[in-house]
């Protein structure tokens, strides 16, 4: 399916609406504008397998560009606009983009990219002028509204968030079919029926659209004829108000958003009706058990979790009822077969912690322009088993439990310590706004555990608070895991999708 499939039935139905500005895009407009942009890009010489880069704040036109690429056999690379111009230029250059489309809201950054991305042949800017870029609106007005005769299905090629190094382009193979052929993309085929998306669905997207899950889930909503409600940026109380105002039925979150909403005053939380919610999906980062239990107590058994990656090499799924039986689990395999392996590559028994691989029939992705990184992701003896670097274990019933990222594991005195467990324990402490745990060099132990805490507003940081937090942890985790040192910071380096950029954090202390 794709948006054009719904134009005959409800051309004037709202396909996308912005939560704050109220700007809308109907299915008729989405279809026509994506056709016109596809025509413009085709006339500019782009062909199947070529790349379009997109630099935009959350805006309905993101999906005009998205569907123009998908109906032209092109790869679309949505770029994190919070990066520096040099980092953005690296991605635009690395993906080989022949076209770059930008939002005028990011004009200052976009103008700096021109000299650094000489391979780009077509530059368009929407919602206002940007020096060095042609008008997006004028380009569409001059293009034909007739679909191209050949509409091979394209795909996204997104970049990892780079929490442990430079972002990697994740290239999925192009399907050998036309854009309107069933079953569409993997996301629509899996998540559509799994969460019961249909034309009456109203989906809230509170996260940046350059991230894989928000971008792809919005595509699922368009493909199945629902309405996509996009927040310009996440705000805890505004999210609740938006659910009530639009009678939202589906949504997707990251755990830090849950924490922010749970920390609203009880009177604020009670002010908004969230009873329309049928499926509140969360992913992207592990959710502390206490946080998820609190959300189920508040919203009811509508929480659904999946564990996956931009690489789409595998996935697990779990609903509220299953999670209440298996607290802390991310579910059972729904895409691929889970294989947990030790350092030597040997498969481990249930309950043993190791690297998580997914077995597929064929290699599902490669890292663009980086065969060495692709090779690192492949099991040493099974070429169709791949990993993204997470570690965990599978219990006797086949439920997967995440422990941490392999790159974040602290080895202190020869013992593995997983920061995630410590971070989870502190997540809902009333004096903690945010927390990260890292390993720092220690002459005696090799590494020691350090917690970096951003206190809640009005809370005094200092030795007394540090000891209070350490005592709080001693009641919840083993003494050897309690941070030897607690430092305080006004902010922690997180991506807008909630992931800690621990490389930057460690650099502060190393």
Q: Which CATH number does the domain housing residue 434 bear? A: 3.30.300.30
Instruction: Residue 447: name the closest of 356, 509, 354, 355 by CA.
Output: 509
**How far is it, in rounded angstroms, from Cα 215 to Cα 195?**
17
Per-residue pLDDT tens over the stretch 396-422: 999 999 988 877 888 888 788 889 899
**pTM check: above 0.85:** yes
Residues 358 and 214 in one domain: no
Is residue 307 situated within a structural domain?
A: no
Percentage of the residues of the chain whose pLDDT score is greater than 70: 98
Rounded distance between C-alpha atoms, residue 145 and residue 36, angstroms: 5
Helix (H, G, I), strand (E, B) or coil at 240: helix
Domain annotation covers residue 238? no
Classify each residue of 305-326 as buried b or exposed e, where b means 16 or more C-beta atoms within 10 Å of its C-beta.
Answer: bbbbbbbbbbbbbbbbebbeeb
In a domain, 83, yes or no: yes
- Among 243, 285, 313, which residue's Cα sits nearest to residue 419? 285
Name residues whose C-beta falls within 8 Å of residue 235's C-beta, 6 or more positions apart in sequence: none
Q: Are residues 71 and 184 in the same domain?
A: yes
The domain in which residue 364 lies consists of 327-408
Q: What is the CATH number of the domain that holds 161?
A: 3.40.50.980
Please indicate, yes or no, whether residues 385 and 414 belong to a single structural domain of this protein.
no
CA 158 to chain CA centroid, Å, is 10
Length of the chain: 510
The answer to whether residues 188 and 109 touch, using CB atoms and an 8 Å cutoff, is no
138 and 16 together in one domain? yes
* Mean pLDDT estimate for the chain: 93
Mean pLDDT of 108-125: 96
168, 203, 224 - which closes a domain: 224
Residues 31, 152, single domain; the answer is yes
Domain count, the chain: 3
Which of 176, 209, 224 is the endpoint of a domain? 224
CA distance 506 to 64: 39
Last residue of a domain, one of 382, 408, 434: 408
Residue 216 lies in a domain: yes
Supply the DSSP symbol for 105. Answer: G
Three-class secondary structure of residue 442 per DSSP: strand
Q: Are residues 345 and 427 in the same domain?
A: no
pLDDT of residue 168: 86
Q: What is the pLDDT of residue 165?
A: 57
Mean pLDDT of 307-332: 95
Per-residue pLDDT at 444: 79
CA 330 to chain centre: 16
Statement to judge: residues 72 and 191 lie in one domain: yes
């Amino acid at each position: 399916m794709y948006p054009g499939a719904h134009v005959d039935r409800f051309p004037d139905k709202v396909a996308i609406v912005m939560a704050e500005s109220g700007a809308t895009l109907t299915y008729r407009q989405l279809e026509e504008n994506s056709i016109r942009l596809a025509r413009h890009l085709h006339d500019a010489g782009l062909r199947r397998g070529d790349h379009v880069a997109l630099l935009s704040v959350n805006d309905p036109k993101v999906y005009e560009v998205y569907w123009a690429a998908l109906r032209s056999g092109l790869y679309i690379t949505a770029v994190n606009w919070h990066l520096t111009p040099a980092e953005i230029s690296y991605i635009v250059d690395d993906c080989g983009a022949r076209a770059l489309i930008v939002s005028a809201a990011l004009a200052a950054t976009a103008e700096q990219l021109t000299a650094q991305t000489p391979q780009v042949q077509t530059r368009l800017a929407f919602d206002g002028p940007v020096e060095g870029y042609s008008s997006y609106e004028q380009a569409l007005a001059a293009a034909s509204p007739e679909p191209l005769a050949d509409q091979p299905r394209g795909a996204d090629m997104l970049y990892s968030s780079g929490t442990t190094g430079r972002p990697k382009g994740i290239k999925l193979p192009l399907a050998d079919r036309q854009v309107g052929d069933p079953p569409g993309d993997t996301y629509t085929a899996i998540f559509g029926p799994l969460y019961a998306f249909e034309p009456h669905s109203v989906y809230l997207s509170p996260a940046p659209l350059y991230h894989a899950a928000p971008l792809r889930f919005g595509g699922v909503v368009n493909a199945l004829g629902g309405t996509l409600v996009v927040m310009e940026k996440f705000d805890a109380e505004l999210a609740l108000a938006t659910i009530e105002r639009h009678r939202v039925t589906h949504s997707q979150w990251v755990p830090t958003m849950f924490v922010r909403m749970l920390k609203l005053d009880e009177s604020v939380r009670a002010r908004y009706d969230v009873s329309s919610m049928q499926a509140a999906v969360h992913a992207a980062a592990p959710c502390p058990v206490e946080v998820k239990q609190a959300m189920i107590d508040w919203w009811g058994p509508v929480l659904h979790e999946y564990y996956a990656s931009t690489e789409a090499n595998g996935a697990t799924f779990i609903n509220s009822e299953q999670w209440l039986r298996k607290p802390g689990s991310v579910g059972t395999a729904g895409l691929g077969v889970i294989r947990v392996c030790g350092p030597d590559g040997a498969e481990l028994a249930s309950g043993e912690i190791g690297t998580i691989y997914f077995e597929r029939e064929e290699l599902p992705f490669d890292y663009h322009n980086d065969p060495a990184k692709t090779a690192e992701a492949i099991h040493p003896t099974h070429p169709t088993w791949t990993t993204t670097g997470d570690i965990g274990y599978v219990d006797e019933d086949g439920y997967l439990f995440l422990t941490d990222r392999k790159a974040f594991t602290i080895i202190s005195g020869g013992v593995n310590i997983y920061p995630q467990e410590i971070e989870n324990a502190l997540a809902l402490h009333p004096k903690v706004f945010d927390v990260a745990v890292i390993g720092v060099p220690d002459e005696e132990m090799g590494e020691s555990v350090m917690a970096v805490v951003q206190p809640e507003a009005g809370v005094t940081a200092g030795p007394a608070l540090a000891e209070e937090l350490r005592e709080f942890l001693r009641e919840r985790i083993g003494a050897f895991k309690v941070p030897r040192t607690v430092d305080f910071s006004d902010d922690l380096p997180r991506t807008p999708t909630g992931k800690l950029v621990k490389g930057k954090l460690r650099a502060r202390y190393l």
